[in-house]
Amino acid sequence: MITPVQYPDYSPERASQSGVSWAAIFAGAAAAAALSMILLVLGAGLGFAASSPWANEGLSAKALGVSTIVWLLVTQILASGLGGYLAGRLRVKWANLHGDEVYFRDTSHGFLAWAVASLVTAVLLASTVGATASSVAQAGGQAAGAVISAGGAAAAGAAANAQDEGGYFVDKLLRSTDPSQASQTDAQGVTRRIFNKALAGDAALNADDRTYLAQFVAQRTGLSQQEAEQRVDQVYAEALKAAQDAKVAAQKAADAAASVAAHTALWTFVALLCGAFFASVAALFGGRQRDRAQWIEDPYDPVVRDRTTLG
């Protein structure tokens, strides 16, 4: 068991004082936050230097993820250890306390230094990310304004098509038995709306729509009705496969993003937990060194000389 700490300057007033040395805690937290920022910036620089947008160059995504996790753990251990050690080493001496109480206070000082440093680092990172996002949003707004001013007619046409959700049923209501009466533009619009309606529904092309599209194809290509229907089936199958592939790719991207977010959150939790532990242990070590420190008295000090004479 840890031995009690005894000091001759014990007084009832000291017993009623707070056991928290906030100056030491804030000093350790400042050092930990500063070292965390330095190491995070260094890690980001090394990560950008090791990665490459070109194929078969730079670190792979898996290697980059593992190295990021390792660097995060190292950052937390080093920064939290430094902050906890300073919080324990710079605290005041506690007179006539049991060793277990000193143990508790030292670990508490390390934990508090880690907590304050984590909050400060989180605020700094949030402000940095917010400023970066604001700059990106401002640049994106300017670019969007340039695009809108350059292609206003195209944007207006796209908006008109998006608002005409009932176009398919209007086409079906006014459908003619003679496809040759429709212009090329009208035929393309009708074909696009029929395909979109089928792909958005049960992915099955209606028999009437299939026959009508085949008439369009036969009239404009010179194919027979049967050959036109085969072409419609082939093109629609390709469109259906492209839509399904896009859906599968979007689902895989969403799963990958969710997996990355989950692993990032879990490893961040582990890193923070390691930081809290090492901060507490380092504060205990620093506190032990603080208690072993000896004051060197100046023999020429009048107070010391009088005390020596009376002794």
List, for residues 20-75, the tens digit of each pLDDT value: 888 999 999 999 999 988 998 898 888 888 777 776 777 777 788 888 889 999 99
**Separation in Å, CA 59 to CA 53, 62, 74, 217, 256:** 10, 8, 20, 51, 19
Q: What is the pLDDT of residue 177?
A: 65
165: number of Cβ within 10 Å: 9
Q: What is the pLDDT of residue 3?
A: 45
Q: Nearest-CA neighbor of 233 among 244, 246, 222, 217?
A: 217
pLDDT (tens digit per residue) in 172-208: 666 666 666 666 677 777 777 877 777 777 777 878 7
pTM above 0.95, yes or no: no
Burial class (CB in 10 A: 0-12, 13-18, 19+), 216: buried
Q: What is the pLDDT of residue 17?
A: 63
Q: What is the residue extent of each domain of the chain?
A: 19-130+266-310, 162-250
Q: What is the pLDDT of residue 291?
A: 81
Which residue ranges in the chain fall short of pLDDT 50? 1-10, 136, 143-144, 146-164, 310-311
DSSP annotation of 5: B
Q: Nearest-CA neighbor of 214 among 199, 198, 225?
A: 225
CA 135, 138, 143: angle at the middle one, nearest 5? Answer: 125
Q: What is the pLDDT of residue 274?
A: 93
